[in-house]
Amino acid sequence: MTPFDYHRPETLAEAFRIAGAIPGARYVAGGTDMMVRIRSGRERPGALISLGRIDTLSRIELGSVTQIGARTTIGQVLEHPELTAAYPLLALAARPFASVQVRNLATVGGNVCNASPAADMAPVLLALDARVEIEGPQGTREVPLDAFFKGPGQTDLAPREVLTSIVLEPPRPEARSCFLRRSRVGMDIALTSVAVHFQLAGNRLTRPRVAAGAVAPCPLRLRAVENLLEGRAVDAALLDEAARLAEGEIAPITDIRASASYRRRLTSTLVRRAITAACEESR
Ligand SMILES: Cc1cc2nc3c(=O)[nH]c(=O)nc-3n(C[C@H](O)[C@H](O)[C@H](O)COP(=O)(O)OP(=O)(O)OC[C@H]3O[C@@H](n4cnc5c(N)ncnc54)[C@H](O)[C@@H]3O)c2cc1C
């Protein structure tokens, strides 16, 4: 491992200054992705800039909108009863995430900024219509999460920008949701994951959101499935059609974990099961 300097600024302004002064400097939050890449030689940073002392990045606020600071760990999500009661999807993704040790370090912001197609928080945040707040030397901007992902490991962030928080609309009383994930063994990244979120008006679905992970270069929303579900009551024929459309919207690869055709079948099965489970969710 090539030696590198490690900086721990206490403000974003200081972080931007260091990032501008050192070529190849990289931000790090929990380090659970970054350190693996450095140890394997895939990453050789000019320096690491820890976001760990910038307290403004770790707040959780529920108000007219909900703000989840980027440095919030997966463990802190689980330990926040108001947050998980308002958005059960977050807990569904956080609970099976890695191990206690990893959950105590891994941040929500790092999960999103790492831009792995298999990141577990990504489909649930897409299904919740999340936006990301970004701050850089030029100011602050907000981007819908589905426009933030640009490819595997690639995001909309400019070189010195920091993702500061995840922004969610307030929860709705009629909201129903489900997250399903399959991996080969525990502590492995997802083969495929599916998150659904919608409102139930009587027995009809409104504002349906369906997102999938590990089946395309980026985590993605399955918009044809969403359009199909809008305003409809769920029955067997609708589930068959949703499952069929889901297969057509993804572009899975074959790798050491699974074949593309297995991932396609699994996605359609998980879409069917997640919609069914969300409809049956009691509140
Ligand atoms: C054993 C193990 C098990 C794992 N299991 C899972 C799992 O079950 N599910 C899953 O989804 N992931 C898993 N991961 C991957 C990893 O833990 C997560 O992606 C984690 O959320 C990354 O967060 P972090 O804070 O550690 O990111 P870091 O490693 O600190 O950073 C990741 C990337 O994001 C950038 N970054 C981080 N924060 C910001 C920010 N606020 N603004 C701008 N850029 C930023 C960094 O520069 C870096 O490029 C696992 C990793 C390990 C080692």
- Residue 139 has what pLDDT? 98
Alpha carbons 201 and 174: distance in angstroms, whole number: 7
Alpha carbons 131 and 238: distance in angstroms, whole number: 30
pLDDT digits (tens, 9 = 90+) for 136-152: 999 999 999 999 999 99
Angle between helix axes 260-280 and 236-249 (nearest 10 degrees) is: 140
Q: What is the mean pLDDT of residues 31-41?
A: 96
- Residue 220 has what pLDDT? 98
Report residue 248 as tokens: 């057509």
Q: What is the mean pLDDT of residues 105-115?
A: 98
For residue 36, what is the domain's CATH number?
A: 3.30.43
Q: Does 66 lie in the same domain as 135?
A: yes
* Residue 107 CA, closest ligand 1 atom number: 25
Structural domain for 41, as ranges:
5-50
* Strand pairing report for 204-213 and 60-62: unpaired
Confidence of residue 283 (pLDDT cuts 50, 70, 90): low
Q: Does 85 lie in the same domain as 27?
A: no
Q: Which of 168, 199, 233 is the last residue of a domain?
A: 168
Q: Does 40 lie in the same domain as 68?
A: no
Q: Which residue pairs from 261-270 have beta carbons closer than 8 angstroms and sit at least 24 positions apart in sequence?
A: 262/191, 263/191, 263/192, 263/214, 263/215, 264/215, 266/182, 266/191, 266/192, 267/192, 267/194, 267/212, 267/215, 268/243, 268/244, 269/243, 270/180, 270/182, 270/192, 270/193, 270/194, 270/212
Q: Which of 106, 134, 168 is the last residue of a domain?
A: 168
Q: What is the mean pLDDT of residues 30-36?
A: 98
Q: Does 271 lie in the same domain as 185?
A: yes
Q: Does 100 lie in the same domain as 42?
A: no
Q: Does 143 lie in the same domain as 78?
A: yes
Instruction: Using alpha carbons, select from 206, 240, 244 the residue that is nearest to residue 224.
Output: 244
Report residue 85 as tokens: 């009661």
- Residue 1 has what pLDDT? 75
Alpha carbons 16 and 87: distance in angstroms, whole number: 32
Q: Which of 168, 198, 219 is the last residue of a domain?
A: 168
Q: What is the mean pLDDT of residues 28-52?
A: 97
Q: Does 158 lie in the same domain as 84?
A: yes
Ligand 1, pocket-test mutation among 16, 33, 95, 145, most atoms within 8 A of CB: 33
Instruction: Using alpha carbons, select from 209, 210, 220 the residue that is nearest to residue 117.
Output: 220
- Residue 187 has what pLDDT? 82
Q: What angle do CA 143, 64, 209 make, to 5 degrees?
A: 55
Q: Does 125 lie in the same domain as 66?
A: yes
Matching residue, tokens 């079948």: 265
CA of 32 from ligand 1 middle (Å) equals 5
pLDDT digits (tens, 9 = 90+) for 210-254: 999 999 999 999 999 999 999 999 999 999 999 999 999 999 999
Above 90 in pLDDT, residue 281?
A: no
Q: Does 62 lie in the same domain as 155?
A: yes
For residue 147, what is the domain's CATH number?
A: 3.30.465.10
Whether the CB of 105 sits within 6 Å of ligand 1: yes
DSSP 3-state assignment of 163? Answer: strand
* Residue 122 CA, closest ligand 1 atom number: 11
Above 80 in pLDDT, residue 2?
A: no
Alpha carbons 53 and 7: distance in angstroms, whole number: 10
**Do 219 and 149 meet the contact criterion of CB atoms below 8 Å apart?**
yes
Instruction: Using alpha carbons, select from 136, 107, 114 the residue that is nearest to residue 19.
Output: 136
Average pLDDT, the chain: 96
Q: Does 78 lie in the same domain as 164?
A: yes
- Residue 140 has what pLDDT? 98
**Do 249 and 220 meet the contact criterion of CB atoms below 8 Å apart?**
yes
Confidence of residue 173 (pLDDT cuts 50, 70, 90): confident
CA of 60 from ligand 1 middle (Å) equals 19
Q: Does 194 lie in the same domain as 227?
A: yes
What is the total count of domains within the chain? 3
Q: What angle do CA 160, 165, 146 make, to 5 degrees?
A: 85
Cα 178 to Cα 32, 99, 266, distances in angstroms: 26, 21, 16
* Residue 163 CA, closest ligand 1 atom number: 42
* Residue 27 CA, closest ligand 1 atom number: 47
Q: Does 125 lie in the same domain as 31?
A: no
Strand partners, 233: 204
CA of 99 from ligand 1 middle (Å) equals 13
DSSP 3-state assignment of 91? Answer: helix
DSSP per residue, 210-235: EEEESSSSS-EE-HHHHHHHTTPBP-
Percentage of residues of the chain with pLDDT beyond 70: 99
10 Å CB burial of residue 108 (0-12, 13-18, 19+) is buried
For residue 222, what is the domain's CATH number?
A: 3.30.390.50
